[in-house]
Each structure stands twice: as structure tokens, then as C-alpha cells.
Structure 1
Amino acid sequence: MQKTESKYYLQALEEYNELCKEDEDAWDSRIDKTGCYVENMALQLCHAETNDWRQCLGEMAQFRECWQNKGNRDRVSTVDRK
């Protein structure tokens, strides 16, 4: 399956490349360590522009796929609230 790169993905990739040239803050560093920084940024950019998650389903799917492929589901535990 070939990944289609949305305009948000391309914009996020450009921003990520610029960010790599600068000092990262703690938040950016944590997101970068997931291996899904670009996919996360693409999803955020899409939502910021459209203000509707339903219009960002492609970006959401790419983020979810990246998150799973990088093993992030195993490294983040959830806590059941009682």
C-alpha cells in the first residue's frame, strides 16, 4: 500500500526539517521520540485549518499506522479509572 501524502503531511515534513536545524523544546523532543512527529503535525495542521476531525481521516489513519508500526502502543500504558 502506497501512502498518499496530503498537503498537511508535506507542510509538516517541511516544518520538521526546519525544526531539526533548531534546538528542540521538551514537548517536540517527546513527540519526535515516538517516530511519528510528521504524522502528528500533519494531523494537527489539518484540524487547525478545517476545525473538523472528520476532514482529517487520512491524516488520522497515517498517524495511527505510524504509531502502531513504531511500537508506541506497547510503550504507553493506560490506566483504568475507577
Structure 2
Amino acid sequence: MSEESRYYQEALQEYNDLKKESDPDVWDKRISETGCYVENLALQLCHAETNDWRQCMKEMALFRKCWDTKGNRDRVRTVDR
């Protein structure tokens, strides 16, 4: 896929390693259940390295696309007060 970045590739490898664990961390499990673990981690890796969200627009777009595709927007609705 041409839209994948090196951060995405790194995140995908980490996710594949995580799936082999018999007792994953609670946070990792929770993020994995969204269906967007790899995209979330790629975005985190990019920001951690660059310290600039503007340099992570590709990763942000992939995460947003995944989040919307997996129906997570409906899952986490907030109430305006």
C-alpha cells in the first residue's frame, strides 16, 4: 500500500508481535479492540520522533480513516452540555 509510512511498518511489526502474547497489556488490548491499533501506534511513533504533529499528517489521515471505517465514532459519542 503506497500510503503506508515507515511508522506504519514499525507499528505493524509491533502489533504482530503483540498478537503472539498470551496476556496483553490492558491498554494494548483496549486499543486493539478499536481495530485501529496499528494506525494509532504509527501516529504515536511519528509524533514521538518528530515532536511535530504537522509532520504526521499521513499517519493522522490513516488513523482517522480507520477510526471512521471501523465505526468508532459512533462508539464514543460525547454529550454536549
Q: State the TM-score, normalized to the length of structure 2.
A: 0.93
- Aligned twin of 1:41: 41
CA displacement 1:1-28 (0-9 Å, x = unmatched): x651100000000000011111211111
Q: Hey, what's the Cα distance between the residues in 2 that align with 1:37 and 1:3?
A: 19
Change (3 A) 1:30 1:16: same
1:17 matched residue in structure 2: 16
Opposite residue 18 of structure 1, the aligned amino acid is D
Tell me, in whole angstroms, the C-alpha distance in 2 between the residues paired with 1:80 and 1:67: 21
Equivalent residues, number? 80
Matches within 5 A, 1:1-82: 4-22=3-21, 23-81=23-81
Q: Secondary structure at the match of 2:4?
A: coil
The residue identity in structure 2 corresponding to 1:66 is C
| Structure 1: segments with no counterpart, 5+ residues | none
